[in-house]
Amino acid sequence: MDNVMRGYEIKFNVYADSQVEADNAANMIKNLISDYASRGVAITGRKISDAVEKWKNNVFVFNYFK
């Protein structure tokens, strides 16, 4: 069985004041993933899911997004 990871595109909406703001957010996420990949660290779908689950109720994160 082949356990090679592949890249998958994910799409979702984000609230923004403009398309430029939304594109900037997407580019920042892509750049973060690329930066870690260049250092040999894979940011996988599972890791993103786990991070969101752990941080979604964190008071500092909540207050930042509020």
* pLDDT tens digits along 21-33: 999 999 999 999 9
Q: What was the pLDDT predicted at 3? A: 74
List the chain domain ranges.
19-65
pLDDT in tens, 17-65: 999 999 999 999 999 999 999 999 999 999 999 999 999 899 999 899 8
pLDDT at 66 over 90: no
Is residue 2 very low, low, confident or very high in pLDDT (cuts 50, 70, 90)? low
Q: How far is CA 50 from the centre of its chain?
A: 11
Could you tell me which residues come within 8 angstroms of residue 10 by beta carbon, excluding any fewer than 6 positions away?
Answer: 45
Q: What was the pLDDT predicted at 47? A: 94
